[in-house]
Chain A
Amino acid sequence: DAGVTQSPTHLIKTRGQQVTLRCSPKSGHDTVSWYQQALGQGPQFIFQYYEEEERQRGNFPDRFSGHQFPNYSSELNVNALLLGDSALYLCASSPYTGAYEQYFGPGTRLTVT
């Protein structure tokens, strides 16, 4: 079992650009959640996808959008990048029903210059 995988590992972008981050959930999981972790802070919830729809959303602007594919993998898109978007982006997967733990991926480190 490969667990949750994310790509790329690191990414450097310029202000105003757009970025796409990718996540493959753990085998058997159908729900993907995305979190932003600024340096020295705890992760903050961005949104959750299930059945290719956004089910929950945190307090993030519309510049942050996502997608879930039929194979349950997911993408996080951020438009018009700001310096403040520099962070570690974590993907977590879980089954939708039941109170199961969320399994986290290793994250993508995004640096905006």
Chain B
Amino acid sequence: AQTVTQSQPEMSVQEAETVTLSCTYDTSESDYYLFWYKQPPSRQMILVIRQEAYKQQNATENRFSVNFQKAAKSFSLKISDSQLGDAAMYFCAYSLYYGGSQGNLIFGKGTKLSVKP
């Protein structure tokens, strides 16, 4: 069975600094997707960034980038120039992609990120 592990329950970063959130996963599949979702205190989960396993290039979205190490089954999120609005729970998630459609999301337990002014 696929599993996702986030080993940092809480992280803290100074405003304008850079922080990296860790995620490891376990799977025997070769074709899958990895995601980082953000859940602010208002609860609505929003997608931060997505990585297709078949792509070697690391995904980037503005201040957010990932370090995808397929052999090591590692998928970390780097947030540059941290802003107060980045404070939230961050969830790493995994999904298979088969038969032309996306499978269910498997989430880690999350990392609570605090941003200090």
Contact = CB atoms under 8 A, between A and B. Distances in A.
A69 to B, nearest CB: 20
- Interface size band for B: 20 to 34
B38 to A, nearest CB: 11
Nearest to A105: B44
Interface in B76-103: 91, 93, 97, 100-103
Interface residues of A, number: 27
12 contacts: A31-B101, A40-B109, A41-B110, A42-B4, A42-B91, A43-B105, A45-B104, A88-B43, A96-B101, A98-B102, A102-B102, A105-B44
Interface of A: 31, 33, 35, 40-45, 48, 56, 58, 88, 90, 92, 94, 96-102, 104-107
Interface of B: 4, 33, 35, 37, 42-47, 50, 52, 91, 93, 97, 100-110
